[in-house]
Amino acid sequence: MIRTISEEHLARLQEGREKAKLLGKEGDVVITNPLLQAKAAPASKVKAIRAMCASCMGCTESYQEPGWKQQVADCSAFNCPLHSHRPYRAKKEEVK
Ligand code: SF4
């Protein structure tokens, strides 16, 4: 199933673009929320995994848990199917 960004988030994105335009920073608006990034690029497995891990650490489409990236890096749920594919892990843990 292809998921799309909700009307609410589209409206907020448009609002941000209009603000940036007023500030002369058009084109500088970047989606930083991993859940919204995944929705904006539904074919990206990397973004889907990052969104799942962010969600697992308490992030939502409107909230990012402080320190969630480090929490994902330190994740000790070795039985999770995504564990060896999670973002922010140490390089020595990279899957070969
Ligand atoms: S790897 Fe860890 S942070 Fe990512 S989904 Fe699994 S349990 Fe959650």
Question: How long is the chain?
Answer: 96
- State in Å: Cα 51 to ligand 1 middle: 10
Closest C-alpha among 41, 38, 42 to residue 55: 38
Residues with CB under 6 A from ligand 1: 52-53, 56-57, 72, 75, 77, 80, 82-83, 86
Residues 85, 82: Cα–Cα separation, whole Å: 5
Q: Whose CA is nearest to atom 5 of ligand 1?
A: 53
* pLDDT reported for residue 19: 82
Q: What pLDDT is attached to residue 14? A: 84
Do 87 and 54 belong together in one domain? Answer: yes
DSSP 3-state of 57: coil
* Residue 78 and residue 38 share a domain: yes
> Are 47 and 25 members of one domain?
no
Taking CA atoms only, the protein residue closest to ligand 1 atom 2 is 75
Q: Is the pLDDT of residue 1 over 80?
A: no
pTM of this prediction exceeds 0.85 = no
**Model confidence over 12-67: pLDDT tens digits?**
888 888 887 888 877 666 788 999 999 989 999 999 999 999 999 999 999 999 99
Separation of alpha carbons 68 and 59, rounded Å: 8
26 and 45 both lie in a single domain: no
